[in-house]
Amino acid sequence: MRVLVTGHKGFIGTVMVPMLQKHGHSVLGIDSDLYRNSTYGKAPAPVDELIKDVRDIEACDLEGVDSIVSLAALSNDMLGDLNPKLTYEINYKASVRLAEMARSLGIKRYVFASSCSMYGAAGDTVLDENAEFNPVTAYAKSKVLVEKEVSLLADDDFSPTFMRNATAYGVSPRIRFDVVLNNLSAWAYTTGKVQMKSDGTPWRPIVHIEDISRAVIAALASPREKIHNEAFNVGRNEENYQISELAQIVKEAIPDSDISFAGEAGPDLRNYRVKFDKYMKTFPDFSLQWNAREGAKHIYDSYRTIGLHRDDYEGTKYKRIAQLQDLLASGKLDDTMRWAN
């Protein structure tokens, strides 16, 4: 199968592409490569690609494509809040436009990387795919809008599928340090402090980026009747944690570290627990494999191998909002977040 992956040079995409290829898929990547200066460790594996903003994809770019995996997004809550208009243009409008284009061209499958963050401020109730949405960030709101509009495009020839991923973590050639397990581990490794930026009480389901990729492979491999216009929470029931529990897991994984609270630590409106039974029942041959304890140890080993320093993840090299602000200030990006000519 010829699979187009948008955002193939990102945190998830650089892990997903090799996994798709190992499962026999031919991959075409489209990505504006905003974080080309942020490679962590080995460079992403080479793949057929177009360096192009997702907003600028044309019908001719989709020639020969059988299925689309839509990852491209401004995927950071602070970044989304920096310019909500761009978040809606890239995450929402461009994703819907791509689905419309795919449908008109006869591309049958469209797998959208959605998010459990759509459940938002939900409290202690364990939520399945029928739960109401209560998004609290521009990023999460954009996911709600895409699901709503793209689901209306579903017909006998076009099958969208919405993979509502739990909070991602893991090691990647385009690593993110703003996701909770990676972030807690980075602070613990470089400072000896497992620094929580909330009061530790919010619930958050987490999922490894390899398991997110495994779930996409499952959706592409499954019969149409199983995935047609369906949404799936992607994660494992036992991987719902309070932030304080994740901090304790990191403390146990990283020697000589202690739990602390950042100066601004307080309540976090993002608070949700999620049920993943539907995924497990639908895709029994594609069970998810990682847990937080194994993930924290793997992340720690990676930081030791790379020799991570606090200035790396707090500076412009890996801190996405800081890097984009620097690129904008230097004129390398224009005010639409495209590369300047």
pLDDT of residue 287: 97
Q: Quick one: the chain helix, strand, coil %, rounded to 5?
A: 40, 25, 35
Could you tell me if 6 and 31 are in contact, meaning their C-beta atoms sit under 8 angstroms apart?
yes
Does the pLDDT value for residue 77 go beyond 60? no
Q: Does residue 334 lie within any of the structural domains?
A: no
Q: Does residue 144 lie within any of the structural domains?
A: yes
195-220 mean pLDDT: 94
Q: Does residue 338 lie within any of the structural domains?
A: no
Residue 244 CA to residue 83 CA, distance in Å, equals 30
pLDDT of residue 80: 58
Does the pLDDT value for residue 206 go beyond 70? yes
Q: Which amino acid, one-letter code, is at 193? A: K
pLDDT in tens, 139-171: 999 999 999 999 999 999 999 999 999 999 999
Q: Does residue 336 lie within any of the structural domains?
A: no
72-92 mean pLDDT: 81
Could you tell me if 47 and 26 are in contact, meaning their C-beta atoms sit under 8 angstroms apart?
no
Residue 100, CA distances (Å) to 18, 93, 133, 150 in order: 27, 11, 24, 8
pLDDT of residue 211: 98
Domains identified in the chain, total number: 1
pLDDT of residue 265: 55
pLDDT of residue 270: 78
pLDDT of residue 78: 62
Residue 81 CA to residue 138 CA, distance in Å, equals 6
Q: Does residue 340 lie within any of the structural domains?
A: no
Q: Does residue 58 lie within any of the structural domains?
A: yes
List CB contacts of 42: < 8 A, sequence separation 6 or more: 173
pLDDT of residue 123: 75
List CB contacts of 251: < 8 A, sequence separation 6 or more: 188, 194, 257, 258, 259
Does the pLDDT value for residue 121 go beyond 90? no
- Of 194, 142, 154, 148, which is closest to residue 300 (Cα–Cα)? 194
Residue 111 CA to residue 11 CA, distance in Å, equals 17
- Of 198, 33, 241, 15, which is closest to residue 113 (Cα–Cα)? 15
Does the pLDDT value for residue 79 go beyond 70? no
* % the chain with pLDDT above 70: 96
Does the pLDDT value for residue 129 go beyond 90? yes
pLDDT of residue 320: 86
Residue 33 pLDDT level (bands cut at 50, 70, 90): very high
Q: Does residue 124 lie within any of the structural domains?
A: yes
The least confident of 97-101, 212-216, 304-308, 315-319 is: 315-319
CATH of the domain at 205: 3.40.50.720
Q: DSSP string of 278-335?
A: HHHHH-TTS-----HHHHHHHHHHHHHHHT--HHHHHSTTT-HHHHHHHHHHTTSB-T
Structure tokens at 324: 């984009």
**Range of 219's domain?**
2-329
Q: Please, which residues bridge with residue 241 across strands? A: 204
Structure tokens at 80: 């989304």
Could you tell me if 267 and 201 are in contact, meaning their C-beta atoms sit under 8 angstroms apart?
yes
Longest dimension (CA), the chain: 58
Residue 339 CA to residue 333 CA, distance in Å, equals 4
Helices (H), the chain: 13-22, 77-82, 84-87, 94-105, 138-151, 180-191, 209-221, 224-227, 243-253, 277-282, 292-306, 310-314, 320-329
pLDDT of residue 210: 98
Answer with the residue of higher pLDDT: 317 or 234. Answer: 234
Could you tell me if 103 and 69 are in contact, meaning their C-beta atoms sit under 8 angstroms apart?
no
Structure tokens at 323: 């890097």
Does the pLDDT value for residue 310 go beyond 90? yes
Residue 16, CA distances (Å) to 166, 191, 215, 274 in order: 16, 31, 10, 23
pLDDT in tens, 261-301: 876 655 667 789 999 999 999 999 999 999 999 999 999 99
- Of 175, 180, 185, 280, which is closest to residue 235 (Cα–Cα)? 280
307-336 mean pLDDT: 90
CA angle (281 as vertex; 279, 282 as ends), nearest 5:
65
Can you tell me which residue has the tokens 């307080």? Answer: 266
Ramachandran angles phi, psi of 53, nearest 5°: -70, 140
Does the pLDDT value for residue 83 go beyond 90? no
Residue 321 pLDDT level (bands cut at 50, 70, 90): confident
Residue 341 pLDDT level (bands cut at 50, 70, 90): confident
56-78 mean pLDDT: 92
The least confident of 98-102, 185-189, 322-326 is: 322-326
Q: Does residue 305 lie within any of the structural domains?
A: yes
Residue 75 pLDDT level (bands cut at 50, 70, 90): confident
Could you tell me if 169 and 206 are in contact, meaning their C-beta atoms sit under 8 angstroms apart?
yes
